[in-house]
Structure 1
């Protein structure tokens, strides 16, 4: 049997800028194009904004820009994974595989939060590796004793964001196990942090009236008792979880835009068949129960993640509406297949089918503030190239609006007014880069500026791709006080890409943390850039382009 560390092609490692085997699934942003044979519309775009001001930080390590930002504005994150696996030499089928996702806040500032998340990442990776090692022998024995079954063990820690803004960071890891039993199993582990301080929050930090909160939760559970088939002693379990009694494990909870949600895994207060049981105590109408600082954004717009074959139900123009979508099977993972969208609205059923190429990822039902519903679906093709298809769900007929070359990459998309998307770019290297978006009038995502910020999922510069200069290069130094100074940096200077507009500049960080800007222009060769009139390949020892 051969052991493999799972990793993507070199193109993907170049995109992240890290010289590791980690796979990148990014939560961030970029520019959007719209391609629709039906409408022929061009991408919506807003005027270019100035690059982020790099001046000053507060006591928490946050920039002045961060300090001025809306406390409920989203912050960009990125996710990558550590993988392991064992394969059968005879037929290359997996014996056991594992994955542990890690989350990284992007951009400048939030030093305390970044440190907390780094510690959490390390703890979860260590746990995942220990579990993988403990199941590995069992999986190998199962394959040796029952080779015809081709049973594959799985031990995954899958990251899921709930809320990421300037006030609160809330998320969970779905710990998914397939260990040869009658069915897979899973448990969830939630974590909540104060964005500014990096402190991991306890329920009492967010909920002022814990007794009243518990009464509300138990009242909602009582209403679900018959439907969910809750265990007879479920109230004892709930009380024990709230009290933190030994033997019951932690109470799992998160902070959403609209309230505080309590989560009970399968088997905790109901059977496996009942699924997880959740109760959300809304902020609206219960404001006195919560610390004001953590109350989320109140708006008419929303977005909900949806998997194929799942159904989302909402009210549209006073009509109950349910929407689901699915994909036909394809002979190959990246082959052409049909997407079918089904909608029932006001008793009328509609179905829409079109052909797409690639491997389906997740989808999102997106409702704008003015009540216009859309379906966003992410499609992955070779070398982790991703696009996002946009469908209009409002009209008499379901309609394909267009294709975006920017997509969530497992991002948090829960607010049509602000979210981050990622695309692959080529500017002094190949890498993923993000920008902030909102839903435009046509339904397509609209970029809020023309500056792409490189995704960074590295714990230190030692893990990043570095550009080492082979000639003296003119740069604009961007000082901490906001001033700029023209300099020439010597041969051998190490540059780390941070941002670009893909046309005129690439922002860099130096080994000592200082920032500078390289002025660039498109090369006459039809590929790459020139710096001070010199082709880029003659300026650096190596530029990590993919392909």
Structure 2
């Protein structure tokens, strides 16, 4: 009998804590329940976010113009710099964005090294404005990997300017920049030989268009620099103007298809 009374008292006290006179749940109890519910939802969202695998990046173009004048307010140097900005609240994407922010700062320091010369020549008469135009192209953006080729054209007078290229490939889920050894199978020597054979085929097909030591240059430098990018169906290797051929030939490229047997670690 005593035990039944205790259980009855416990039931009444419990109802007083969570129910007021009108039979509704008091505000403080509702807040407790709400907090528990929010906590539960938040945990679910966090778990879902951690499981997200990025397959493709959303990219917005950032553009900035730089203008420099001499003491007479005459423009002596100018440039337009374009770079990619990856959208999304992921650490890996933020890491890639920081990489390109750093690239812009390094380019700017290099560009401004010419400012004194530009000012000096501008005082000698009708001298062309030094300028650079930096743009980029997304050549591969799928299956969790991103390749971007940045190109510039730096002009300081004369018949033509100097074009240049800089390419980088990233894992979208880690933000890591990939090296050739991350992409291709085999030792450094094996990878180098495959690149050499790709250029050898191209150069031998039209020897007159290249410098006589073009293949020697490839043999000595293939695989040592970050001179590659991904494109639909293949990996492309490149050399800038004057490296293997005269200016008119432009950038020289060779490629290896993704279907090449026993070549790639990643299924692009």
TM-score range, shorter chain: 0.7 to 0.9
Name whichever structure is richer in helix by fraction.
2
User: What corresponds to 1:132 in structure 2?
Assistant: 111
In the TM superposition, what whole-angstrom CA distance separates every residue of 1:348-377 from its partner, at most 9, and x where no partner exists?
A: xxxxxxxxxxxxxxxxxxxxxxxxxxxxxx
User: What corresponds to 2:262 in structure 1?
Assistant: 288
Gaps of 5+ in 1: 1-53, 245-249, 296-547
Match for 1:214 among 174, 195, 203?
195
Gaps of 5+ in 2: 1-43
Cα distance change on mapping 1:267 and 1:211 into 2, 3 Å: closer
Partner SS, residue 273 of structure 1? helix
Listed as ranges, the matches of 1:422-501 within 5 Å are: none
User: What corresponds to 2:16 in structure 1?
Assistant: none
User: What corresponds to 1:235 in structure 2?
Assistant: 215
User: What corresponds to 1:170 in structure 2?
Assistant: 147
In the TM superposition, what whole-angstrom CA distance separates every residue of 1:225-244 from its partner, at most 9, and x where no partner exists?
A: 336x1111111211221253
Listed as ranges, the matches of 1:147-166 within 5 Å are: 147=126, 149=127, 151-166=128-143
User: What corresponds to 1:55 in structure 2?
Assistant: 45
Q: CA deviation at 1:166?
A: 4.3
1:234 and 1:199 map into 2 onto residues whose CA distance is 32
Cα distance change on mapping 1:251 and 1:232 into 2, 3 Å: farther
Contact 1:75 1:166 in 2 (8 A): no
Q: CA deviation at 1:157?
A: 3.0
User: What corresponds to 2:229 in structure 1?
Assistant: 254
Contact 1:85 1:97 in 2 (8 A): yes
User: What corresponds to 1:179 in structure 2?
Assistant: 156
Q: CA deviation at 1:211?
A: 4.8
The root-mean-square deviation of aligned C-alpha atoms, in Å, is: 2.6
Contact 1:63 1:108 in 2 (8 A): no
Cα distance change on mapping 1:57 and 1:105 into 2, 3 Å: farther
Partner SS, residue 82 of structure 1? strand
Match for 1:264 among 235, 239, 247?
239
Q: CA deviation at 1:216?
A: 3.3
2:79 and 2:122 map into 1 onto residues whose CA distance is 17
Partner SS, residue 210 of structure 2? coil
Match for 2:57 among 68, 75, 89?
75
2:125 and 2:47 map into 1 onto residues whose CA distance is 60
Partner SS, residue 96 of structure 1? strand
1:217 and 1:98 map into 2 onto residues whose CA distance is 36
Number of equivalences = 221
Q: Which runs of 4+ in 1 moved over 6 A?
A: none
User: What corresponds to 2:84 in structure 1?
Assistant: 103
Q: CA deviation at 1:189?
A: 1.1
Cα distance change on mapping 1:195 and 1:225 into 2, 3 Å: same
Contact 1:113 1:199 in 2 (8 A): no
In the TM superposition, what whole-angstrom CA distance separates every residue of 1:1-60 from its partner, at most 9, and x where no partner exists?
A: xxxxxxxxxxxxxxxxxxxxxxxxxxxxxxxxxxxxxxxxxxxxxxxxxxxxx93357xx
User: What corresponds to 1:481 in structure 2?
Assistant: none
In the TM superposition, what whole-angstrom CA distance separates every residue of 1:98-144 from its partner, at most 9, and x where no partner exists?
A: 233332211343x12321331x2232222222123211121122221
Name whichever structure is richer in strand by fraction.
1
Using CA pairs below 8 Å that are at least 6 residues apart, which structure has the higher relative contact order? Answer: 1
Contact 1:128 1:155 in 2 (8 A): no
Instruction: Output the TM-score relative to the length of structure 2.
Output: 0.73
Partner SS, residue 255 of structure 1? strand
Cα distance change on mapping 1:57 and 1:183 into 2, 3 Å: farther
Q: CA deviation at 1:145?
A: 0.4
Partner SS, residue 206 of structure 2? helix
1:279 and 1:97 map into 2 onto residues whose CA distance is 34
